[in-house]
Every structure is written in C-alpha cells, then in structure tokens.
Structure 1
Amino acid sequence: MRRSVELEIITEALSKMGPHTPATRLWGRAPDATADMAAEGNVWAGDVHDVALHIVTRLYGRPGTPREASPLAQAEDAKRRRDMGDEIAALTGAHDQLTSAPWYPARPGDLVHVHYEQAGDLPPFGETYIVGHVGAGLMSLQLLAHTLPETVPGLDAEATAAMAGCFAAEAADCPVYEAWFEAGPRSLTIVRDGRPVHIGGAP
C-alpha cells in the first residue's frame, strides 16, 4: 500500500483547526443552518482522519491503491457505471489539482517526462518533451526522446513508431493538459530550470 503524502498533509491541517489541538473530531453546521439552530440534522461531526480521507479521495482518488487510474480513465469508469457525480468529480478534481499547483502554468523550457507502465507485451517506457513558446500566449510540446523499443510483439515497426510522441502539441494554452488527464499526474515528472517541480511517481 502506497503512502499518501496528500492524506498526511490534509489530516495534519485539519487536526490543527480550532482552539484545541490536536483535534480528533470536527464539528459543523448545515449550510442553511443559523447559529441558534441546534435541532437534530443541522449539526454534523466527523473524525479528522475520515474527513481528510474523503477530501483526498475526491481530489486524487482513494489512496492505498497499487496504481491510481488517470483522471480520464476514472471519469470513463464512472460514466460506465452511470455515476455522473464521480465522473464530474474526477475531471474537476484533476483540473483543480493542475491549476492550483505551485508550478502552474507550464513555461517554455520546462521538461515533461511521461512514464508508461507495462501493458501486455509492451514493456514500460518513457517519453521526454520540452515546452516551447510559439507566440500569442500559446506554447508547444515537442518530443525530445523516448525509450519505446523499436519492435513490439504484435506490432509492425510503423505502428510502434507511431506510438511515440502522442502528447506532442503545436500550439496550446496549457501544453501539459492532455498528458495530465490521459496519462495522469502520477505518470508525469516536470523539471524547471534543472529542478523537479512535480514528481508524480513519488511515494
């Protein structure tokens, strides 16, 4: 089971709320309840860890899974279950996670590495892209290198070569947006000025 840094941070933050710390339970009122409305149903209480787990699950998916699916895969899974709430949560959560990241937005010169897990006969491999400036507030994402094998069982050389560089973009407001949703944040490593600013595969 992987360690969830996000869960630890949120749990610690919640436990320090209020006058008594560390807190073990949180109390709140229903959104439409007033201060003098103490009737049953207007007030709720929750364990700090349970509340933190709920927040982390809505934002990043449930921690402790061997490998979290990408936001797009989570949304498609929810769509198959006809769970519109989870579908919207997967997409909006990933969008909010991206746009609230301290390194966002991407900048020209950023290096973006995408890691792919093994899939059938296709071994794990990686791709490295660089963000470029194309003017008018738009940026490109150009493939620099990849470790995709030249031959993959069941695929000819042309089909194998076509698999590399699928996230390349000529002009986009956010050149990492597609990779963030399709490959997933945990598959990305972003380097800026020689320093990693996002390490998706960190435990």
Structure 2
Amino acid sequence: MHRPVVHRRDPRLEILTEGIEDVIPRATPAYLTVTVTETLPGTANPDGTPHTNTWTGRPADLAQHQFTRLYGRPRSQEPRSPLAQAEDAKRRRDLGGEIGALMSAGNALESAPWYPCRRGDVVLLAYPAAGDFPAHGETYVIDDAGDGLMSMKLVAHSSPLAQDEQEGYVGCYATEAADCPINEAWFEAGPHLLTIVRDGRPVHVGGAR
C-alpha cells in the first residue's frame, strides 16, 4: 500500500477549465487562449470595421471568473509537492512546466544552507488526512551508511492504522543508503511537509498545519 500523492485543487474549477479547453478537441491546453468580443452596433472604426471591445486570456482565467460568479472566490491552493506540480503540468501537456517543477525543487534542495544531510539530523514529516488515510506524523533519523552514503531510518510515528495496515505506508521514505536520503521525501511528499532538525535546532520548517 503506497502513500497517495495529495492534491488540493477544487474539482469544480478543474471541470470548468477542462470544459473550456475541450471546445477545441484534442487541443494542447498550454497553447490555448480564449477571446471574448463585444461588437458595438452603429459604430465603426476609420477603416469601416465595427468598433469592438475584446478580452483575451487563458482558459483557466475564464474558468476562475465563472467559478467566482457561481461559488465565490476560490480558496488559495495549499502547497503541493514538486511531483504533484509536475503531474499537473504533464496532464496539461506542458513539458516545460513539468521539467521546471522538478528542476526548481532540486535547485531549492541543493541550495539550502543545511544541505546535504548530516548524521544525527532528525527529519519530521507531517501528513494531512487524504481520503481513507488519516493524518499522522513520522520521525526519521539520518545516519552514516558507509562508503560516503547516508541512511534515513524511521524511529517513530503517530499513525492510528492497525499494524497490518501500515506496511508500505508508514515509513515509506526510509532509505538504507543514498547520496541524499531525503531526496524522495522532498520531491514526493514535498518540502512543505518536512521539518529538519540539526543539533537540536530546526534548519528547515515546512508549512504544514
């Protein structure tokens, strides 16, 4: 049982956006724009063409306008993991966005002042509830795995799942030996769910509530 990637997007807004994008069958969403034109009767430009007012924007902009009229302003999106952002871009057929999300996350990790991990670092993951999976926390410790590699060992968790339900779910980011044992958790769970403590002091604090 593998932990699901958590998305925090309103499905109503996604349906509106996809409905606009589907006006042109099999179109690439990243290349689409929407134009709304008002043609004013009894008026003309110097060249004889009717006078118009025009709005042009992306399908997502029009969908958000419709959503706001129907339901009020959409709530700001909660942070998403780099992997979730890349998957969103992939669904839009936005190769640049997909690569950019992963490269940006990699650069943020490698440029962090506490990078790379050290022996004794404590890694805390705070998971929100997702479907049938309850909210819980996990605690890992970074250790020396030899040959210049590091491990990340699960030492505690607060999952209320029964023991036979925890396999492959609790502790799924434990790593026996890697150059960067935090890499998978950083990309898949997301830096917003991570808190890293070094020498008793937090050096990275995620934004999870």
The offset of 1:202, in angstroms, is: 7.1
CA contact (8 A) 1:130 1:143 kept: yes
In structure 1, the partner of 2:157 is 146
Counterpart code for 1:167: Y
Q: Which structure is larger by alpha-carbon Rg, 1 or 2? A: 2
Instruction: Indicate the residue corresponding to 1:158 in structure 2.
Output: 164
- Alignment of 1:173 with 2:179, yes or no, is yes
Q: Distance in 1 between matches of 2:156 and 2:133?
A: 18
2:206 maps to a residue whose letter is G
Q: Tell me by how many angstroms 1:112 deviates.
A: 0.3
1:134 to 145, 150, 154: 145
CA contact (8 A) 2:126 2:208 kept: no
**Cα displacement (A) at 1:121:** 3.1
How many aligned residue pairs are there? 135
String of CA shifts for 1:68-107, please: whole Å, max 9, x gaps: 1100111111111110011011000000000000000000
- Supply the distance in 1 between the matched residues of 2:173 and 2:151 (Cα, whole angstroms): 10
Given that residues 139 and 175 in structure 1 are in contact (C-alpha distance below 8 angstroms), is that contact kept between their aligned partners in structure 2?
A: yes
In the alignment, what sits opposite 2:63? none
What fraction of aligned residue pairs are identical, expressed as a percent?
A: 59
Whether the aligned pair in 2 keeps the contact of 1:150 and 1:161 (CA below 8 Å) is no
Deviating beyond 6 angstroms after TM superposition, the runs of 4 or more aligned structure 1 residues are none
User: Kindly tell me: are residues 147 and 72 of structure 1, through their superposed partners in 2, closer, same or farther at Cα, counting changes over 3 Å?
Assistant: same
The two structures, once aligned, show a CA RMSD in angstroms of: 1.6
TM-score using structure 1 length: 0.63
| Alpha carbons 1:113, 1:128 under 8 Å: kept | yes
Shift of the 105–65 alpha-carbon distance from structure 1 to 2, 3 Å rule, reads farther
Q: Normalization by structure 2: what TM-score? A: 0.61
Preserved contact between residue 154 and residue 174 of structure 2 (Cα < 8 Å): yes
**Cα distance between partner residues in 1 of 2:141 and 2:76:** 31
Give the whole-Å Cα distance in 2 for the aligned partners of 1:171 and 1:120.
Answer: 32
Query: Is the counterpart of residue 113 in structure 1 residue 124 in structure 2?
Result: yes
Looking at structure 2, the residues matched to 131 and 121 of structure 1 have their Cα atoms a distance apart, in angstroms, of 30
Give the CA deviation at 1:66.
3.6
After TM superposition, list the pairs within 5 Å mapping 1:23-172 onto structure 2.
65-151=76-162, 157-172=163-178
Q: Secondary structure at the match of 2:116?
A: coil
CA distance in 2: counterparts of 1:182 and 1:198, whole angstroms: 17
Give ranges in structure 1 of 5+ residues lacking alignment.
1-63, 152-156
CA contact (8 A) 2:143 2:153 kept: yes
Q: Unaligned 5+ residue runs, structure 2?
A: 1-74
SS of 1:178's equivalent in the other structure is helix
Shift of 1:139: 0.2
Q: Which moved more, 1:187-196 or 1:113-122?
A: 113-122
CA offset digits 1:118-140 (Å, max 9, x no partner): 11232210100000001111000
SS at structure 1 position matched to 2:166: helix
- Contact kept, 8 Å, 2:193 with 2:208, in 1: the verdict is no
